[in-house]
């Protein structure tokens, strides 16, 4: 099978390309230096293959409060990336099934985060632009499928965690930030200060669970949008307590700074559709996933701890 992956150099893309190559697929995964997707026709030079699948992962974003301070750039860049990739798919590789990655940020926090609500209501204000560019990506899939019969799958992950996260100074997703701070507290005695009162609810999906499920759906499901999460929303306090217990740090020492940005107060995906499509879906228990992630962070402590 011939597969093109955008965003193949990122956290998710690195794992995905490894898995696809392990399955024996031919994988083409240009980074932004070889194919800057802001430019039209940047994928043209990869047309010597006819692709069976296009995994579209590339997006210009970071976690934390990044979206709050870059809405204009995010609107321009992500609209360019998505438009150029979908236009190339339509004109040059229409036989391919395109698998796109949505975001849980697209859901209106006042509504249940189930697939039929993906385009309903208004996303959290601080994440509005990023969320709306992801909604437009989905609108593009719907439009191209409707008019030209192109085949797609969109998957919407909750926060993905596991080994192999980036350590280049970009803002981290909350779970890596928690691990980093608590490891630093334990190792160097640094104060551990978490943003908000710790009652914000978040959900995780382990990288291997996400990949296995996305690849299974890519083979079996067409023209659908499917949430992939653990289905279990937990407070930041709960995550912090579990990490502290696993690394042997006193949870009572953790401080909560209620003046800091916390984003959405509640984020947890409904996964009824996923369970119907994949009846044997059994995500890795949180403690096991955290142990593996902490082990990786500890091994890469010099880089992770210095963020
Ligand atoms: N990680 C999560 O928890 C999570 C949750 C929900 C949704 N998602 C979605 O999943 C996808 C992958 O996430 P990730 O965590 O792997 O992100 P990431 O590590 O930040 O990777 C982003 C990727 O996009 C590429 N990219 C950015 N601008 C580009 C451009 N102008 N041209 C070409 N490529 C460009 C980057 O390439 P370079 O390295 O060359 O810059 C990188 O490979 C994204 O669409 C994200 O929105 C992720």
Q: Is residue 275 part of a domain?
A: no
Work out the pLDDT band at 302, boundaries 50, 70, 90. low
The pocket around ligand 1, CB under 6 angstroms, is made up of: 7, 9-13, 31-33, 36-38, 57-61, 81, 101, 103, 157, 159-160, 166, 173
Select from 102, 134, 101, 284 the least CA-distant residue to 209: 284
> Are residue 101 and residue 221 in the same domain, yes or no?
yes
DSSP 266: B
Contact 103, 156 (CB under 8 A): yes
pLDDT greater at residue 299 or residue 99: 99
Q: Which residues of 26-38 are buried (b: 16+ CB within 10 A; e: fewer)?
A: ebbbbebeebebb
Integer CA distances (angstroms), 247 to 139, 153, 184, 189, 264, in order: 44, 39, 11, 13, 28
> Are residue 22 and residue 147 in the same domain, yes or no?
yes
Span 220-237, average pLDDT: 97
Q: What's the gap in Å between 16 CA and the centre of ligand 1? A: 12
Q: Which residues share a beta bridge with 6? A: 56
pLDDT at site 62: 82
Q: What's the gap in Å between 60 CA and the centre of ligand 1? A: 6
Residue to mutate (ligand 1; options 40, 58, 86, 160; most atoms within 8 A of CB): 58
Domain that holds residue 180: 163-202+232-267+286-305
Q: What's the gap in Å between 57 CA and the centre of ligand 1? A: 6
3-state secondary structure of 158: coil
Q: What's the gap in Å between 133 CA and the centre of ligand 1? A: 14
pLDDT in tens, 93-126: 999 999 999 999 999 999 999 999 999 999 998 8
Integer CA distances (angstroms), 243 to 21, 129, 237, 254, in order: 33, 32, 10, 12
Contact 71, 128 (CB under 8 A): yes
Q: What's the gap in Å between 121 CA and the centre of ligand 1? A: 25
Q: Provide φ and ψ at 204, rounded to 5°.
A: -120, 155
Distance CA 290, CA 206 (A): 9
* Closest approach atom of ligand 1 to CA 37: 32
**Length reported for the chain:** 307
Q: At 183, which CATH number?
A: 3.90.25.10
Q: Is residue 281 part of a domain?
A: no
Give percent above pLDDT 70 in the chain.
98
CA angle 61, 266, 292 (to 5 degrees): 65
51 C-beta neighbours (distance < 10 Å), count: 23
Q: Is the pLDDT of residue 208 over 70?
A: yes
> Are residue 146 and residue 191 in the same domain, yes or no?
no
Q: Is the pLDDT of residue 64 over 80?
A: no
Q: Is the pLDDT of residue 39 over 70?
A: yes
Distance CA 133, CA 71 (A): 10
Q: Is the pLDDT of residue 182 over 50?
A: yes
Integer CA distances (angstroms), 188 to 27, 32, 167, 169, in order: 42, 37, 19, 19
> Are residue 153 and residue 236 in the same domain, yes or no?
no
> Are residue 135 and residue 28 in the same domain, yes or no?
yes
pLDDT at site 307: 46
Work out the pLDDT band at 171, boundaries 50, 70, 90. confident
Q: How far is CA 248 from the centre of its chain?
A: 29
Q: Is residue 174 part of a domain?
A: yes
Work out the pLDDT band at 200, boundaries 50, 70, 90. very high
> Are residue 13 and residue 82 in the same domain, yes or no?
yes
Integer CA distances (angstroms), 142 to 81, 206, 213, 294, in order: 17, 28, 22, 39
pLDDT at site 301: 60
Q: Using CA positions, which residue lies closest to atom 34 of ligand 1?
A: 32
Q: Is residue 276 part of a domain?
A: no
Residue to mutate (ligand 1; options 4, 8, 10; most atoms within 8 A of CB): 10
pLDDT at site 304: 55
3-state secondary structure of 251: helix
Q: What's the gap in Å between 229 CA and the centre of ligand 1? A: 18
Q: At 91, which CATH number?
A: 3.40.50.720
107-111, 220-224, 296-300, range with the lowest pLDDT: 296-300
* Closest approach atom of ligand 1 to CA 77: 31
> Are residue 94 and residue 126 in the same domain, yes or no?
yes
Q: Provide φ and ψ at 52, rounded to 5°.
A: -85, -35
Q: Is the pLDDT of residue 262 over 90?
A: no
> Are residue 197 and residue 214 in the same domain, yes or no?
no
- pLDDT, averaged across the chain: 94
Contact 192, 255 (CB under 8 A): yes
pLDDT at site 94: 98
Distance CA 293, CA 276 (A): 29
> Are residue 53 and residue 193 in the same domain, yes or no?
no
* Closest approach atom of ligand 1 to CA 62: 20
Q: Is residue 278 part of a domain?
A: no
Q: Is residue 272 part of a domain?
A: no
Q: Using CA positions, which residue lies closest to atom 29 of ligand 1?
A: 32
pLDDT in tens, 274-294: 999 999 999 999 999 999 999
Q: Is residue 274 part of a domain?
A: no
* Closest approach atom of ligand 1 to CA 13: 16
* Closest approach atom of ligand 1 to CA 157: 6
> Are residue 88 and residue 183 in the same domain, yes or no?
no
Give percent above pLDDT 90 in the chain.
87
pLDDT at site 107: 97
pLDDT greater at residue 299 or residue 81: 81
> Are residue 7 and residue 55 in the same domain, yes or no?
yes
| Count of structural domains, the chain | 2
Q: Is residue 28 part of a domain?
A: yes
pLDDT at site 68: 86
Contact 158, 269 (CB under 8 A): yes
Q: Is the pLDDT of residue 253 over 50?
A: yes
> Are residue 66 and residue 119 in the same domain, yes or no?
yes
Q: Provide φ and ψ at 102, rounded to 5°.
A: -85, -165
Q: What's the gap in Å between 303 CA and the centre of ligand 1? A: 20
């Amino acid at each position: 099978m011939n597969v093109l992956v955008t965003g193949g150099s990122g956290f998710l893309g690195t794992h995905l390309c490894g898995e696809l190559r392990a399955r024996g697929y031919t994988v083409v995964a240009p980074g932004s230096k070889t194919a800057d997707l802001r430019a039209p026709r940047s994928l043209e030079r990869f047309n010597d293959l006819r692709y069976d699948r296009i995994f579209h992962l590339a997006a210009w974003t970071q976690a934390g409060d990044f979206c709050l301070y870059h809405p204009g750039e995010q609107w321009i860049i992500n609209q360019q990336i998505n438009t150029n990739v979908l236009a190339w798919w339509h004109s040059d590789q229409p036989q391919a099934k395109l698998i796109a990655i949505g975001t849980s940020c697209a859901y209106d926090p006042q509504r249940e985060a189930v697939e039929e609500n993906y385009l309903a209501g208004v996303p959290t204000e601080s994440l509005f632009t990023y969320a709306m560019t992801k909604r437009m990506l989905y609108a593009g899939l719907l439009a191209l499928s409707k008019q030209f019969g192109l085949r797609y799958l969109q998957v919407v992950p909750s926060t993905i965690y596991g080994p192999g996260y980036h350590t280049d100074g970009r803002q981290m997703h909350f779970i890596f930030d928690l691990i980093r701070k608590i490891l630093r507290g334990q190792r160097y005695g640094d104060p551990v200060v978490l943003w908000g009162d710790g009652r914000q609810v978040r959900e995780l999906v382990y990288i291997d669970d996400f990949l296995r499920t996305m690849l299974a759906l890519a083979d079996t499901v067409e023209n659908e949008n499917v949430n992939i999460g653990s289905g279990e929303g937990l407070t930041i306090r709960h995550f912090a307590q579990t990490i502290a217990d696993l690394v042997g740090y006193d949870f009572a020492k953790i401080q909560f700074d209620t003046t800091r940005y916390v984003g959405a107060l509640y984020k947890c995906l409904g996964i009824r559709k996923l369970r119907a499509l994949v009846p044997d879906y059994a995500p890795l228990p949180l403690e096991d996933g955290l142990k593996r992630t902490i082990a990786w962070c500890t091994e890469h402590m010099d880089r992770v701890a210095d963020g």
